[in-house]
Structure 1
């Protein structure tokens, strides 16, 4: 089953939805929005950059999703603009959020890219790197568990859903990476013979072009040929 294509939106940066969410609560000025997102740990799930925030705000305003509510000045400080969400912005935020929750879309995690090209590495090197990744995953999972027991202990679960989701994803990733490394070590992963054979040839000083030419000439077994086809 194909994953859904996200709807084309006038402002597609996920930070825009975070801005709409802030203004859905009440009118705010930009620094207030940033502080609110950081206090609630939204940096864990939304890339938050103060420079990008201003560009997103201007784009949302241009498309009528937010508007200037008022301007304020305190003493000699620069004037600050307070923004509010419009009716169109409320509709956009509601539709966008529903889409994000309901429809799975294709994403491109960096680790998935790395795993898709794993055959470029010798099996032993792949195992070593996978094991190092597990150490880093363990550290991150443990740190997040400490946060749950400490500063986040009294935060209602409703406001920590994305944190728990991330923890579950990290735990699942760790389990898969551990299992993959073990299957490579045990030579139980499918295609291990061709994988080892390829890197044995590379270790003998043959280039990929040499190997491919000799595969075409029928000099190697079908397993290596399958890997390079």
Structure 2
């Protein structure tokens, strides 16, 4: 199996989609767009098919059939292999606690439901330590600039980043609290059946 660092965010989201059931690339794209995940990864047809082919070569997914409806082109259906399932989990574990690669974190967050509740809480706690250190670093920088009488026009980006970090920390603390008190449903088992049907969710995605 390839190292998880070789997985791209697009590859992670394709594999995670297959955790919900076997499907062909057209269905993958449709489902990802329905969930607005095209904000996070490029969903061009060529990118998806190229990524699926690479994941198949790497032994993370496999072809299970070819369908044809009417005059439409043949569509190959794929299934997720155990190696692909583990690769998703390991990628999320690696990216969820970090604060440096913003887009990878967003993808990891969107797929964090593939891990159980307690593990996500622990990973977010690790990330919180990094956020706190960065918040303190920015506050210290702003204080030093004030003492040095640095013109404020040179500090507007630093001020913006400091405000964003404060907001990020507050948001993450709110998410953690909802996970901890279980007011946020987590995992497919906690989604009501009528919602599963509406969103075509069919498989348990948490360990």
Give the TM-score of the pair, scaled to structure 2. 0.47
Point out which structure has higher relative CO (alpha carbons under 8 A, 6+ apart): 2
Give the TM-score of the pair, scaled to structure 1. 0.43
Q: Work out which of the two has the higher radius of gyration on C-alpha atoms and give 1 or 2.
A: 1
